[in-house]
Homo-oligomer: A and B are copies of this chain.
Amino acid sequence: MIPEPSLRRLPTYLHYLRSLAMRGREVVSTSTIAGFLKVDPTQVRKDLSYTGIVGTPRVGYDVPDLITAIEHYLGWDNTSDAFIVGVGHLGKALLGYEHLAEYGVNVVAAFDIDPDQVGKRFRDVEILSADRLPELARRMKVHLGILAVPAAAAQETADAMIRGGILAILNFSPTTLTCPDHVMVRDADFYSNVAVLTQFLKGHFSRKETTTW
């Protein structure tokens, strides 16, 4: 079983490798990857080894092979169908992001309660009425839900997703959802990053004020 931190780093490697491939690079070493992404080279090797790829000593890894291996390991060569719920600015930002398929996500429909939005399309995705969500999730066998509604509506929307058989929720709303154990929720979690950054700034300035060291 892959450690979660390793799993979370794989998409970053993938992104970097794709940019290398685009520039025609055929081969890369873990120290190059590590240097660019500011992590430890051994760590990169360990992480990559979970995908089953092998490199050639003295040379490195074949870039296209490596991309394929990571994509396959993540299952991103076979995208998961997903619903986006909430077509405000955030939902639109997500829908507007063209490369979702490269990250394993295939948005098959969007939902909103706003009658002005329902029936329209945004970036080729149909916007449907939110009350049809459970029924359609079940019928279309969609198991991934992206939650982009205001905080006040987040829990009931999650409930509707779960009623529709959705098993994995990516939660962009600033709320802690209560969900049954068989459902996995990940918070997009703007705030924990803010905490790390503001803490860093705080340290930066208090160090300037206090004289010694």
Point out residues on A near B: beta carbons under 8 Å.
2, 4, 7-12, 15-16, 36-37, 74-76, 80, 88-90, 92-93, 96-97, 99, 103-105, 143-144, 167-170, 174-176, 178, 184, 186-202, 204
| Extra contacts besides A2-B199, A8-B195 (7): CB < 8 Å | A11-B192, A15-B174, A88-B93, A89-B96, A97-B174, A168-B200, A170-B190
- A interface, by DSSP: helix, strand, loop or mixed? helix
Q: What are 6 pairs between A and B in contact, CB < 8 Å? A: A7-B192, A10-B195, A36-B176, A80-B201, A89-B90, A168-B200
Find the B residue at minimum CB distance from A122.
Answer: B89
Taken together as a complex, chains A and B put the C-alpha atoms of A176 and B36 apart, in Å, by: 9
Determine the chain B residues whose CB is within 8 A of the CB of A192 once the complex forms: 7-9, 11-12
- The listed residue (B176, B194, B196) touching A103 by CB distance below 8 A is B194
Total copies of the chain? 2
CB atoms of B194 and A170 under 8 A apart: yes
Whether the Cβ atoms of B191 and A15 lie closer than 8 Å is yes
Q: Are B168 and A184 in contact, with the CB atoms below 8 A?
A: no
- Please indicate the chain B residues that have their CB under 8 angstroms from the CB of A74 in the complex: 195, 198-199
A102 to chain B, nearest CB (A): 9
Q: Are A195 and B92 closer than 8 Å at their CB atoms?
A: no
Q: Which of B7, B93, B184, B197 contacts A170 (CB 8 A)?
A: B197
Cβ contact within 8 Å between A197 and B201: no
- Closest-by-CB residue of B relative to A105 is B194
Tell me how far the C-beta of A70 lies from the nearest C-beta in chain B, rounded to whole angstroms. Answer: 10
Complex partner residue of A11 from B76, B184, B194, CB under 8 angstroms: B194
Return the contact of A89 from the options B11, B75, B89, B184 (Cβ within 8 A): B89
| Bound form: Cα–Cα A178–B36 in Å | 8
